[in-house]
């Protein structure tokens, strides 16, 4: 969300599809041959697939899960069953953001987050924390702008991180401590950057590490997978190297992975090189928010689904070659509740289909692509 929304470019999209058809951006073993075997997902709604992504993933030492929302888990039983059947880990999509935890500058409200943690644990699942320091307006409380300034911003940030991380200490899989700090190669002009300064990252990670010394702390970023985003990959490496050289606690890179053709396509070679640079630092790699924008591609649903599945196949095939990649999480699991319905609706008015399960909770070709990618991944 930090990068300006590029207008979808039909030409670039067609180029991507052309390249995919020729096999030039297809990962070995998980490309066109696998797609050729795709059958439309079985009809029959919830539970129609007896395969679960979490089980296939776990055979390779991978943790599979999804972002989700408390209200959907509470109000939609079929959906909750699907999440429980398919996922080994969940992430509250909004409920642990400052906006939702902080009704006013002096109060913390943990009831919804606690409910989600309890739901996850009672279904044998883990939960990730997302996101402590996030400069996006939609993540900040309504009182933030009138209250936070140069004089109190550091105290506000430190109090927020230490209280929230202590509350959940020992109970979460990992925390996204800072989310989307970059604009290209440079630190983005968020309120945290403006009021605390560039040291805010180091302060944030140290504060989180002190509040829960055993927590797995993640830096989470968007749009770093696209071929054209060399700047952002370099900026990410600079952040990671900076934290490590100051001995601030940082354990993993979260790659959001909201795949988008209009961002200029994806190149396995560049991605492999970047992932090796990250794993050479001793960091784990988490795919944290996988989905696929599909504003303009094709019109027929079968073609659209194949195209999305192909992108997932290429992407997962490449990332999972790196054995430090240990978590794969989609940003919700079904088209019924995708944030892209609002964020990036199709221009032709049809509903978007960015996720492995459709609106009726039946698996799609993307589900098959994920199963195959997990099956082809080396063990870790
Ligand atoms: C999104 C949620 O899914 C939406 O419900 C909300 O309106 C806006 O935020 N990157 C992130 C997530 O790190 O926090 C965002 O979540 C999606 C983009």
Ligand 1 binding residues, C-beta < 6 A: 1, 93-94, 131, 138, 179, 222, 256, 289, 339
For ligand 1, atom 10, which residue shows the shortest CA distance?
A: 1
Check residue 49 and give its pLDDT: 63
* Residue range 160-195, pLDDT digits in tens: 999 999 999 999 999 999 999 999 999 999 999 999
Q: 149: pLDDT confidence band, cut at 50, 70 and 90?
A: very high
- Cα separation, 271 vs 98, in Å, equals 32
- Ligand 1: nearest atom to the Cα of 180: 13
Cα of 74 vs its chain's centroid, Å: 23
Task: Kindly give the pairing relationship between strand 252-255 and strand 258-259.
Answer: unpaired
Check residue 4 and give its pLDDT: 30
For ligand 1, atom 13, which residue shows the shortest CA distance?
A: 179
For ligand 1, atom 16, which residue shows the shortest CA distance?
A: 93
Query: Greater confidence, 365 or 5?
Result: 365
The DSSP string of 289-336 is EEEE--SSS-SSHHHHHHHHHHHHHHHHHHHTTSTTEEEEEESSSBGG
**Coil vs helix vs strand at 181:** coil
- Tell how far the Cα of 192 is from the centroid of ligand 1, in angstroms: 18
For ligand 1, atom 12, which residue shows the shortest CA distance?
A: 93
> How is residue 169 written in tokens?
């200490």
Q: How much is the mean pLDDT over the chain? A: 89
- Tell how far the Cα of 68 is from the centroid of ligand 1, in angstroms: 11
Best mutation site among 94, 218, 259 for ligand 1, i.e. most ligand atoms within 8 A of its Cβ?
Answer: 94
For ligand 1, atom 5, which residue shows the shortest CA distance?
A: 339
Per the structure, the count of domains in the chain is 1
Residues 331 and 6: beta-carbon distance below 8 Å: no
For ligand 1, atom 8, which residue shows the shortest CA distance?
A: 138
- Ligand 1: nearest atom to the Cα of 222: 10
Residues 229 and 223: beta-carbon distance below 8 Å: yes
- Tell how far the Cα of 125 is from the centroid of ligand 1, in angstroms: 22
Q: Tell me the residue range of the domain where 361 lies.
A: 3-376
Average pLDDT for residues 264-279, to the nearest whole number?
94
- Ligand 1: nearest atom to the Cα of 288: 13
145 CB burial (10 A radius; 0-12, 13-18, 19+): exposed
Best mutation site among 257, 289, 291, 335 for ligand 1, i.e. most ligand atoms within 8 A of its Cβ?
Answer: 289
C-alpha separations of 56 from 59, 88, 138, 372 in Å:
6, 11, 35, 9
Check residue 157 and give its pLDDT: 98
Residues 261 and 297: beta-carbon distance below 8 Å: yes
CATH of the domain at 29: 3.20.20.80
Check residue 3 and give its pLDDT: 36
- Ligand 1: nearest atom to the Cα of 138: 8
Contacts of 71 (CB under 8 A, 6+ apart): none
Kindly report the number of other CB atoms within 10 A of residue 109's CB atom: 13
- Ligand 1: nearest atom to the Cα of 130: 14
- Tell how far the Cα of 262 is from the centroid of ligand 1, in angstroms: 19
pLDDT of 80 > 60? The answer is: yes
Task: Kindly give the pairing relationship between strand 63-68 and strand 89-92.
Answer: parallel
* Residue range 88-126, pLDDT digits in tens: 999 999 999 999 999 999 999 999 999 999 999 999 999
Q: Which of 126-135, 206-215, 294-303, 340-349 has the lowest mean pLDDT?
A: 294-303
- Tell how far the Cα of 340 is from the centroid of ligand 1, in angstroms: 9
User: Vertex 160, ends 116 and 109: CA angle to 5°?
Assistant: 40
Best mutation site among 5, 219, 331, 352 for ligand 1, i.e. most ligand atoms within 8 A of its Cβ?
Answer: 331
In 97-190, at which residue ranges do the beta strands (DSSP E only) sit? Answer: 126-134, 174-179, 182-183, 186-187
């Amino acid at each position: 969300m930090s990068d300006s929304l590029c207008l979808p470019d039909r030409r670039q999209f067609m180029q991507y599809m052309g390249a995919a058809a020729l096999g030039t951006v297809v990962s070995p073993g998980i490309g066109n041959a696998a797609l050729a075997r795709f059958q439309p997902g079985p009809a029959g709604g919830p539970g129609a697939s007896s395969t679960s992504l979490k089980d296939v993933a776990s055979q390779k030492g991978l943790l599979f899960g999804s972002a989700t929302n408390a209200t959907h888990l509470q109000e939609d039983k079929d959906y909750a069953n699907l999440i429980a059947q398919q996922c080994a880990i969940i992430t509250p999509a909004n409920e642990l953001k400052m906006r939702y935890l902080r009704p006013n500058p002096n109060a913390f409200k943990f009831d919804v987050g606690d409910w989600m943690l309890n739901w996850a644990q009672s279904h044998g699942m883990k939960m990730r924390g997302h996101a402590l320091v996030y400069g996006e307006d939609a993540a900040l409380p309504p009182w933030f702008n009138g209250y936070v300034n140069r004089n109190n911003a550091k105290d506000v940030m430190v109090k927020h991180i230490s209280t929230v991380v202590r509350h959940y200490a020992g109970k979460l899989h990992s925390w996204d401590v800072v989310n989307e700090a970059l604009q290209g190669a440079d630190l983005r002009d968020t309120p945290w950057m403006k009021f605390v300064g560039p040291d805010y990252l180091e302060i944030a990670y140290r504060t989180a590490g002190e509040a829960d010394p055993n927590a797995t702390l993640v830096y989470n970023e968007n749009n770093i997978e696209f071929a054209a985003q060399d700047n952002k990959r370099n900026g990410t490496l600079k952040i990671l190297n900076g934290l490590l050289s100051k001995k601030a606690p940082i354990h993993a890179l979260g790659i959001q992975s909201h795949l988008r053709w209009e961002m200029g396509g994806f190149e396995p070679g560049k991605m492999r090189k970047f992932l090796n640079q990250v794993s050479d630092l001793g960091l784990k790699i988490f795919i944290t928010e996988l989905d696929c924008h599909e504003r303009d591609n094709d019109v027929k649903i079968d073609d659209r689904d194949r195209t999305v599945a192909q992108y997932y196949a290429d992407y997962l095939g490449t990332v999972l070659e790196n054995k430090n990649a240990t978590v794969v999480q989609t940003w919700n699991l079904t088209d019924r509740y995708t944030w892209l319905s609002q964020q990036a609706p199709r221009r032709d008015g049809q509903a978007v289909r960015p996720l492995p399960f459709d609106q009726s909770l039946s698996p799609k070709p993307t589900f098959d692509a994920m199963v195959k990618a997990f099956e082809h991944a080396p063990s870790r």
